[in-house]
Amino acid sequence: MLLKTLLITSLLGWVKCQDSQIMTLEEKTVIRDQIVEMFDHAYGSYMKNAYPADELMPLSCRGRVRGQEPNRGDIDDSLGKFSLTLIDTLDTLVVLNKLDEFEDAVRKVVTDVRLDNDVVVSVFETNIRVLGGLLGGHVMADLLKQRGERMQWYRDELLHMAKELGHRLLPAFNTTSGLPYPKVNLRYGVLNPLSRTGTESDTCTACAGTMILEFAALSRLSGESVFEEHARKALDVLWQRRQKGSDLVGTVINIHNEEWVRRESGVGAGIDSYYEYLMKAYILLGDNVFLERFNIHYSAIMKYISQPPLLLNVHMHNPTVSVRSWMDSLLAFFPGLQVLRGDLKPAIETHEMLYQVTKQHKFLPEAFTSEFRVHWGQHLLRPEFAESTYYLYKATGDPYYLRVGQSIVEKLNAYARVPCGFAAVQDVRTGMHEDRMDSFFLAEMFKYLYLLFSEKSQLPIDIDDYIFTTEAHLLPVSLSITKPPYQGNHTETVPLSQEEDLFTHSCPSMETLFPNNPRLLKPSGTATSTSPEWDEPSTLYLSGKLISRAMTMGWNQ
């Protein structure tokens, strides 16, 4: 009841004060300049105090080098002695129009970074951060070179490095199921006696199901189909192993016998980006199978997991009962994914719930209860809430989300900024800092915040030409047209047994968010039908045209 009262009050206030939320261009400029200054502080601190180490330790003002600091367990599997933060930041430099710094960073990566280190790394983290960073950097470098403005020396070095890294990750897929091992040794692979890995039997759903964007892009750009084939195979296995009655997947699966180890199902940690990549693989690659699978999963999520505005985990075999009363902060990406799906009403509701949590605790705790109490107080400067804020503003044009973004900027400066960058918060209840600044803070947070406060004309690239990976790296949405799939890269079609209400939540918005995608363009002036539930006027952009839509802020009684 407390939760519902808080959100009803908030939503009613949102409706009443929309006029007061309007933000002038001058205000947006001030905030955007502030974001740039914050980025300069974070990136400059890394380059000055940490490079070529993987990460900055902002309280110690030095780099985090694996093996030289106390072992943090699996967290350290992101570190591969490959200047992680620099690679993860490459395309952020372009988005923020720091083209001189970008060119210098590319030279450093090409000259200094080695990928054959004798170190065991997470396949998932290395894929989304390093492989994704190299691909995003290559796409940007190639674009700038084609414009003739700079990077004329560039000869696809980042793409060559991406291909090398892809081959170093491939041994992880040497399983009978096709699901990858969670870890790989960059030099020795998995089964080599010197690899110090290969004994693992389990992996998370997101770990196995978040490869297709990077691996498919690598295949299309390099001409080697093997990467996309392996990523598709892993997705096929996860799809086949879904619980057929509920159409949900579990959190952890055995990579050898394909049996579920943890049958808890949700949209947060352990599963999150599996759903994200089904949707985005359709946008990037144009394969309808990915959309069909996503829609079947999405229907199940909205039926069992969604309890507006909450998203509570259930048991995949008995999905009518929630298995816990708390949520983790990683699910904050989900409203943004719902925007891509065109399901604005629940996206708005869940995002508002998350905003209320940040108002109470300054940041999203790693986990919090349905009553907004802290379950796990750590905050790692995660970008998912900013990501969803950006998507909602892009879809609605509502200045309310600019004010939300402004609050994110202010809290980061007030409570996370330290002399050597920005520090994670050990516990939001005490405000005590932690000596870590993860690479995703530079790769994602500043990218989404800068885009939120920028006009398209102020950006050095047309952002609508790209899809964001889960690490916010930029891949061109034209990939399926300019680089068609190679033989063998086909996924079996979903049987036509979808529920009748599969598209009842739909109000397609991909044309809005990706107006330059040649596969998604509609004839000028063509508008899609709208949900009869929507009755308040709102404005969305579709292929450069304004269309009127209705958007309700009502509450499900």
Q: Which of 303, 205, 307 is nearest to 505 (CA)?
A: 303
DSSP SS3 for 53: coil
Assess contact for 254 and 201: CB atoms under 8 A.
Answer: yes
Which sign does the torsion angle of CA 331, 336, 340, 344 carry?
positive
Burial (0-12, 13-18, 19+ Cβ within 10 Å), 16:
exposed
How many angstroms separate the CA atoms of 32 and 335, rounded? 23
Assess contact for 288 and 278: CB atoms under 8 A.
Answer: no
Written as one string, the DSSP assignment of 152-205 is: TT--SHHHHHHHHHHHHHGGGG-SSSSPPPSEEETTTBTTSTTSS-----EEEH
Assess contact for 185 and 197: CB atoms under 8 A.
Answer: yes
Assess contact for 520 and 550: CB atoms under 8 A.
Answer: no
Omega cis (within 30) before 508: no
Assess contact for 424 and 378: CB atoms under 8 A.
Answer: yes
Amino acid at 269: A
Largest Cα span, the chain: 66
How many angstroms separate the CA atoms of 484 and 478, rounded? 10
Q: Which two tokens stand for residue 192?
A: 């080599």
Is 470 annotated among the ligand-binding residues?
yes
The single-letter DSSP state of residue 492 is P
Written as one string, the DSSP assignment of 86-123 is: HHHHHHHHHHTT-HHHHHHHHHHHHHH--S--S-EEEH
How many angstroms separate the CA atoms of 441 and 88, rounded? 9
- Residues acting as catalytic residues: 125, 272, 366, 384
Q: Which helix (H) or strand (E) holds 206?
A: helix 205-209
How many angstroms separate the CA atoms of 465 and 309, rounded? 32
Q: Which two tokens stand for residue 528?
A: 């899609």
- The two beta strands, 432-434 and 424-427, are antiparallel
DSSP SS3 for 278: helix
Assess contact for 533 and 514: CB atoms under 8 A.
Answer: no
- Within 10 angstroms of residue 252's Cβ, the number of other Cβ atoms is 18
- Within 10 angstroms of residue 59's Cβ, the number of other Cβ atoms is 17
Rounded (10°) angle between helices 272-285 and 288-300 = 150
Rounded (10°) angle between helices 212-222 and 132-147 = 40
How many angstroms separate the CA atoms of 230 and 239, rounded? 14
Binding-site entries for Ca(2+): 470
